[in-house]
Amino acid sequence: MSRAAGGRGLFLREFLNHAYATGALMPSGPRLAKALVRYVGEGDTTRRILEVGPGTGAVTRHIVRRMAAADRLDLVEINESFINRLLHDLKHDAVLKPAAERISLLQIPFEQFDQARCYDIIVSGLPMNNFSSELVESIFGKFRAMLAPGGTLSFFEYIAVRRAKAVISGRSQRRRLRQIKAVLACLFEDHEIRRDVVLANLPPAWVHHVRFSQTKMSGFPKVMV
């Protein structure tokens, strides 16, 4: 079995056992991963990078490929099976092993992560549509506090996922999804600088890029990748 196939099997198993925290049946596909790491490696200064919810490392490998020699990467993951897989790959994987000394892996809920840390790039794989609107708002507040001036937050959501969930959900869940939509709408209106449409992913996804330290550029691009 290939490493990619093994990663998909592990991801599916963890989704079936822990759907709330895992949020997807499969790891991010290559096109989605490339869109998420668009701003990694930008500029000529040393970067501090945070990935929240790396899972089996599908996006992590793309981050590492774009990191400069002095960049550092912190990974925050709560799932023990994913942690064990990442620990193994940091020792043996051809992409991750050469950068292992510059990568820190922490098993902790993001809500408990040290907010005093400062990052130039944050990449999030958290399944926001699984959470309460209060938690979503709190998470984005924490992202904002942890980003350095000019820093970029990149995260994704599956296209039409809230609409699909609303069709099969009860009244309280529909209310929760509407509240999450409102939280994200405010974020996008004020701070989104770019949105990528990734159709070559299962399922298709939006990738949102946010900078809190500047006003959104007028007519930000929506680019299909």
> What integer pLDDT is reported at residue 225 of this predicted model?
66
Instruction: Select from 86, 31, 39 the least CA-distant residue to 60.
Output: 86
- Summarised one tens digit per residue, pLDDT across range 128-181 is 988 999 999 999 999 999 999 999 999 999 998 878 877 788 889 999 999 999
Which two three-digit tokens encode residue 123?
């990449």
Beta strands across the sheet bearing 119-124: 103-107, 72-77, 48-52, 119-124, 147-158, 205-210, 192-198, 222-224
Q: Which residue type occupies 205?
A: A
The total domain count for the chain is 1
More reliable by pLDDT, 215 or 32: 32
pLDDT of residue 74: 98
Taking the model in full, what pTM does it have?
A: 0.85
Q: Please, are residues 153 and 171 in contact by the beta-carbon 8 Å criterion?
A: no
Question: Quick check: 124 and 155 in contact, CB under 8 A?
Answer: yes
Q: In which band, very low, low, confident or very high, does the pLDDT at 2 lie, cut at 50, 70 and 90?
A: very low
For the cut 80, the answer to whether the pLDDT of residue 12 exceeds it is no
CATH for 174: 3.40.50.150
DSSP secondary structure, 174-192, as one string: HHHHHHHHHHHHHHHHHHE
Which neighbouring-strand residues pair with 107?
A: 77
Range(s) of the domain holding residue 61: 3-108+116-224
